[in-house]
Amino acid sequence: MRYKSERALELLRAGSNQLDAEFREGQEEAIRHIVNGDGRILVVQKTGWGKSFVYFIATKLLREAGMGPALLISPLLALMRNQIAAAERMGVRAETINSDNQAEWETVENAIQRNAVDILLISPERLANERFRSEALAKVSDQIALLVIDEAHCISDWGHDFRPDYRRIERIMRNLPSNLRLLATTATANDRVIDDLKEVLGPNLEISRGDLNRPSLTLQTIRLPSQAERLAWLAEQLPVLPGNGIIYTLTIRDAEQVSGWLKSRGLNVEAYTGETGDQRPKLEDALLENEVKALVATTALGMGFDKPDLAFVIHYQTPGSVVAYYQQVGRAGRALDTAYGVLLSGEEETEITDYFIESAFPTIDEVEAVLNALEEAPGGLSIPQFPSVVNISKGRIQKTIQLLSLETPAPIAKQGTKWQLTAATLDNTFWERAERLTELRRVEQAQMQEYVRLTSGHMGFLIQALDGEPENISPTGLLPLPTEPDPVLVQETVAFLRRTSLPIEPRKQWPSGGLPHYNLSGRIDPNLQAQPGKALCIWGDAGWGGSVRQGKYHDGRFSDDLLVACKKLVEEWNPQPAPEWVTCAPSPRHPDLVPDFARRLAETLDLPFKQVLIKTQDRPEQKTMANSVQQARNIDGSLELADEALPDGALLLVDDMVDSRWTFTVATWLLRSHGSGEVWPLALAQAGGR
């Protein structure tokens, strides 16, 4: 079939809702290439260029020529509402099958059978679903006229955002007819990633690669080591920045903390994270309609979000790679003459990106533990059964199983709900890849720290790092933002960080398999449960977290400042019935640390202190236990009450750290079982776990 230029322009104008819209450089050429069947093509264009128009217009033209539907594989289904609305304006019937719309699957599948769907959107994870492959995909696979792989850099394990499920696409590619129209799109692919994509998508892959320069962006880096300094800077600069924008953080906790602080200063911001859930569309719309000054977001607000008039993107910490940073900061200024891209750099960022690097692949010990557990279980194990037999967190178990199952040949396979060993052994290339990519992430991390130290030439640095041509870069005319926060505001920030306290929710269920020594299982009797407790801070964090760490590992004694803070916390908390005495959790490794603090706290609260809990067995530290079941078993049988009568009334149960809550849970059960009043847990710090 032949490409129809006038019809393509009509569709562009309908989809964009602009009667005078014209194709951007490279757009029409890519559409023509697809429609004419001139071979497979990879489109590498910066965010906002309009890659979705390429595949929706090509789909519509192919359908009008009597050809079959298109299949789009994308990790962004939740963020593609704007693009799908544009498709509908062009008359493109787009449907999706994903984990959020299971009730609609049958209806969509029936529509596909009736040839009433022009483009089907699925996530790469759908390709792992046997039912989808056999019942939906197999029935139409021979009719598909165009395969679109969105965010194609996710295929490449060289890429910053490699997603294991994208490896399934590589297997699919081997079985596709060589003449199938294929379009792959990405905004972030350097030469190394492009070479990798050629390997997967075909050696004769046409490359359409655009200019990487963002002429509207004024880029700036500011080193502010402490969180208090950066929070103060944000509170000072956000009100005077024009327009609306995004503040990116590396963790969910930081997003919530930054949002809470800015709200306390009267600024209209909201946190947007992986835990935002069904509020995401509402928050996206609020930013699109300029109803909030900024969203404080993790990468959950990443690929796929499109607001052309975003006036600023600020990073609260340095991301782990240039490609990740370029993609995020590039959301600003797409339809503006000028916009700010400011990177704030802090002392905790390397610790966070180290964690991401080190947890990207399972360790040899984790892989061996999973494979050994399966060898000991001929009938296989389901994911919920693993924590009882391996000392690995549930998230690490899932990652290990996912990566092992994607190997070719795979050493494990799923039968029903259970994973079992296969006859295959794990090839050494698995570990070679892990080592190679871990080293690459270290290089990328160092490259971003080099970017932080720049005083000029920021855009040129990014373009060069992405293998582009850093030419014709000119200043935007925006003045740099101040680099020092107001010292008074910094002190107010410290005070804010020290006002926070965190809830400790009581456990209501004993762990899977129970606690054999105490003969406990199932639901915890409500009369033997702890009351909702409080933690003063998060371990090592801004505010009091550093003081707790200093006291435990350097001073050997918790400071009087922490004592005053805990006294104030208890007074503001005002638990009822009020505690009438104080006790604490025992620790053989630090026998005097917590009792000393609990005794001093009791004195300041004018309450008696009595140490009634004893440790009968020396067990490994709880932090060495990687999941909740192992943490519970580590406590099982190790706590007892001293052989003396308990004081009357409710009590404060004090510990320095709370993580799994099993120490508090078992100690409370012992106390309540022996006639104590209500137990109110109080911890100096909650375990960090960024």
- Model confidence over 300-325: pLDDT tens digits? 886 667 788 999 999 999 999 998 89
- Is residue 233 a contact partner of residue 222, using CB atoms and an 8 Å limit? yes
Residue type present at position 162: F
Question: Residue 440 falls within a domain, yes or no?
Answer: no
My answer on whether 547 and 610 are in the same domain is: yes
Q: Could you tell me the sign of the dihedral formed by the alpha carbons of 317, 323, 328, 330, in that order?
A: positive
Domain limit, last residue, from 404, 432, 460: 432
CATH number of residue 391's parent domain: 1.10.10.10
Q: Based on the domain organization, do 268 and 128 belong to the same domain?
A: no
- Evaluate whether residue 439 is within a structural domain: no
**One domain, residues 484 and 349:** yes
Kindly state whether residues 253 and 167 are assigned to the same domain: no
Residue-level pLDDT at 125: 78
- For residues 234 and 262, is the Cβ–Cβ distance under 8 A? yes
239 and 262 in contact (C-beta within 8 Å)? no
In a domain, 392, yes or no: yes
Residue 643: per-residue pLDDT: 77
Q: Are 459 and 471 within 8 A, CB to CB?
A: no
Say yes or no: 459 and 584 in one domain: no
**pLDDT given for residue 79 in this prediction:** 60
State residue 379's pLDDT score: 92
**Domain membership flag for residue 444:** no
* Whether residue 402 is found in the same domain as residue 543: no
Q: What is the CATH number of the domain that holds 640?
A: 3.40.50
How do residues 130-183 score in pLDDT, each as one tens digit?
Answer: 777 777 677 677 788 999 998 888 887 655 456 677 777 777 776 667 778 999
What gap in Å lies between CA 282 and CA 271, rounded to an integer?
12
Residue 633 lies in a domain: yes
The b/e string for 509-519 (b: 16+ C-beta within 10 A; e otherwise) is ebbeeebeebe
Is 16 within a domain? yes
Task: State residue 451's pLDDT score.
Answer: 97
Instruction: Write the CATH number for 272.
Output: 3.40.50.300
Pair (171, 296) in one structural domain: no
Range of 161's domain? 5-209
My answer on whether 607 and 522 are in the same domain is: yes
Burial classification of residue 580, based on how many CB atoms lie within 10 Å of its CB (0-12 exposed, 13-18 middle, 19 or more buried): middle
d(CA 287, CA 247): 12
pTM of the model: 0.87
Q: Tell me the pLDDT tens digit for each residue of 332-355.
A: 998 899 999 999 999 989 989 998
50 bridge partner residues: none
- Contact indicator for 586, 592 with CB cutoff of 8 Å: no
In this structure, the strands spanning 533-538 and 502-504 are antiparallel
Q: Considering the domain boundaries, does residue 483 fall inside one?
A: yes
For the chain, the average pLDDT equals 90
- pLDDT value at 690 more than 70: no
| Residue 495 included in any domain | no
- Say whether both 561 and 622 belong to one domain: yes
Split into its structural domains, the chain has a count of 4
| Same domain assignment for residues 318 and 335 | yes
β-sheet bridge partners, residue 568:
none
Distances (CA, A) of 556 to 101, 447, 565: 54, 39, 18
pLDDT value for 689? 53
User: What is the reported pLDDT for 78?
Assistant: 59
**34 and 177 share one domain:** yes
The verdict on 234 and 376 lying in the same domain is no
Q: Kindly report which listed range (128-132, 382-386, 559-563) carries the lowest average pLDDT score.
A: 128-132
pLDDT value of position 549: 92
